[in-house]
Amino acid sequence: MPRKRETLTPVEPETLDLIVRGGRVVTPDGIHAVELGLLEGRIVRVAESITDPTHAELDAAGRYVFPGIVDAHVHFNEPGRAEWEGLAHGSLALAAGGGTCFFDMPLNSEPPVLDAAGLRTKRALAEQLACTDFALWGGLVPGNLDKLAGLRDAGAIGLKAFMSDSGIASFPRVDAKSLYEGMKRAAKLGLLVAVHAEDDALATQFTAAQRAKKKTDAKAWLASRPVEVELAAIRQATEFAGETGCALHIVHVSSPEGVALITEARAQRVDVTAETCSHYLLLNDKDVAKLGAPAKCAPPIRDEKRRLALWDDLRAGQIHTVGSDHSPAPPDLKTSPNFFEIWGGIGGVQHGFQLLLNACATTADRDFPLLAAVLARNVARRFRLDSRKGLLAEGMDADFCLIELGAARKITADDLWTRHKISPYLGRPSRVRVTDTYVRGRPVWADGRVASGAPKGQFLRPITT
């Protein structure tokens, strides 16, 4: 049974705004045949049956009530690069896929978020444009160490650093010394640091070796970023986290070897967690060769054996969160005969998560609770949003989606709410349909359509204790 909060005064049914009836409510500890009573954006009652018939009802019979997905890793690219995606398109696509909250990365927007003023500018835009709640990452780059306190005070959810070239001139990679110093300061400020873990020197060398052979296809590009590139960076970042006491989140871990390094560091009491992304759990290197540009990302998608091993790690609790790393670009940047020149980034915010649910459709009883942990509860916990977000329980925000498992249907470009109709998942059959998404008790996505009059998203900052 979902957790009850002792502190809440009991609410009489006649004060409820909405009752979610007849669904199977998914929490990390199981699937429960309970109803939810909502009031003013919160879940105030969880019971086997809420009998009063006089209230508005949402009929969830035959469907799963899944916690609103909290995607800690998106690049919506606004301000400055809204033509690549933008906050309105991005958040709507997230909601259409069951998401209720995103954390926007400090780069690919222009300017990137490197100080408090940059964060406030993006916050004001997102408050106007986003249809889901949101948090904002600040950047950690060489030269902005004296801005980190300001970013913390402005409410940054954490700091993001690139250990390799980001592809964006205004967001240079951290050298080892700036990363070390930045982590020292972040630890003092109580800020978590997230790293894109690829070793720049190794990536450059492997890339040069492929270019010397005059190979420019997808296979050559994959060979230019072998697992060792990721492992070298994870080793360095976890060592720094151990030395500085900084909370570290390794984003988009692509390999079981990378997960193993993180598990070892945790055994030595380093405060480090692992994120993987839906595409590493759904695609393999053969898919990249077949799909081409829509499946290009860094670190790259690995072989089938590694993909399956990541699922094992997920089930073993060694991967803590799953994000989308939604990083779209316009068609001209996703088109080149030279795979090295194509923009690296996957547009997966709408379909990645539902395809994870689809992959678990026949093992839903065992695996939907696991997905509720890595897509919502663990994210809220790691980033300290957990007195409001991430769990369907009394006292929490009423953020949820309804999931229907029906006959398989192929995903088409017409289904996409992203600005550009580019996705590695087009043509994939899925049994999962996200029919409704509610943010703080209000529909954003209803009956498979954009809901009218949806309220705007709210800015979230880490809860300080």
- Indicate the residue among 221 and 353 with the shorter CB distance to ligand 3AL: 221
Instruction: Give the x-and-dash track for 186-225 against ligand 3AL (CB under 6 A).
Output: ----------x-----------------------------
Segment 172-211, which members bind Zn ion (CB under 5 A)? Answer: 196
**Choice from 13, 22, 167, 330 touching ligand 3AL (CB under 6 A):** 167
Minimal distance in Å, beta carbon 251 to Zn ion? 6
Instruction: Give the x-and-dash track for 320-359 against ligand 3AL (CB under 6 A).
Output: -----x-x----------------xx--------------
Beta bridge partners of 57: 19
Q: Which residues are annotated as a binding site for Zn(2+)?
A: 73, 75, 160, 196, 252, 325
- Indicate the residue among 345 and 390 with the shorter CB distance to ligand 3AL: 345
Cα pseudo-dihedral 401, 405, 411, 412, rounded to 10: -80
Instruction: Determine contact, residues 390/87, Cβ cutoff 8 Å.
Output: no
Task: Give dist(CA 52, CA 50) in Å, integer.
Answer: 6
- Indicate the residue among 275 and 325 with the shorter CB distance to ligand 3AL: 325
Minimal distance in Å, beta carbon 454 to ligand 3AL? 27
Q: Which residues are annotated as a binding site?
A: 73, 75, 160, 196, 252, 325
Instruction: Give the x-and-dash track for 57-86 against ligand 3AL (CB under 6 A).
Output: ------------------x-----------
* 263 CB-side CA count, 13 A: 13
Hunting for tokens 């790293």 — which residue is that?
195
Instruction: Determine contact, residues 353/72, Cβ cutoff 8 Å.
Output: no
Minimal distance in Å, beta carbon 262 to ligand 3AL? 18
Cα distances (angstroms) measured from residue 321 to each of 116, 147, 224, 311: 27, 28, 27, 12
Instruction: Determine contact, residues 1/30, Cβ cutoff 8 Å.
Output: no
Task: Give dist(CA 37, CA 14) in Å, integer.
Answer: 10
Residue 155 touches which of ligand 3AL, Zn ion, none (Cβ within 5-8 Å per kind): none
β-pair type (133-136, 99-104): parallel
- Indicate the residue among 161 and 411 with the shorter CB distance to ligand 3AL: 161
Identity (one letter) of the amino acid at 450? V
Segment 268-327, which members bind ligand 3AL (CB under 6 A)? Answer: 297-298, 325, 327
Residues recorded for the chain: 465
Task: Give dist(CA 102, CA 325) in Å, integer.
Answer: 11
Minimal distance in Å, beta carbon 137 to Zn ion? 11
Instruction: Determine contact, residues 376/100, Cβ cutoff 8 Å.
Output: no
Task: Give dist(CA 404, CA 426) in Å, integer.
Answer: 20
Residue 27 touches which of ligand 3AL, Zn ion, none (Cβ within 5-8 Å per kind): none
Minimal distance in Å, beta carbon 162 to Zn ion? 7
Cα pseudo-dihedral 445, 449, 450, 452, rounded to 10: -100
Task: Give dist(CA 306, CA 268) in Å, integer.
Answer: 25
32 belongs to the binding site for Zn ion (CB under 5 A): no
Identity (one letter) of the amino acid at 37? G
Minimal distance in Å, beta carbon 222 to Zn ion? 17
Q: What is the DSSP letter of 204?
A: H
* Structure tokens, 299: 């670190």
Segment 376-405, which members bind ligand 3AL (CB under 6 A)? Answer: none
419 belongs to the binding site for ligand 3AL (CB under 6 A): no
* Structure tokens, 370: 């696991």
- Indicate the residue among 297 and 372 with the shorter CB distance to ligand 3AL: 297
- Where does this chain bind Zn ion (CB under 5 A)? 196
- Where does this chain bind ligand 3AL (CB under 6 A)? 75, 107-108, 166-168, 196, 297-298, 325, 327, 344-345
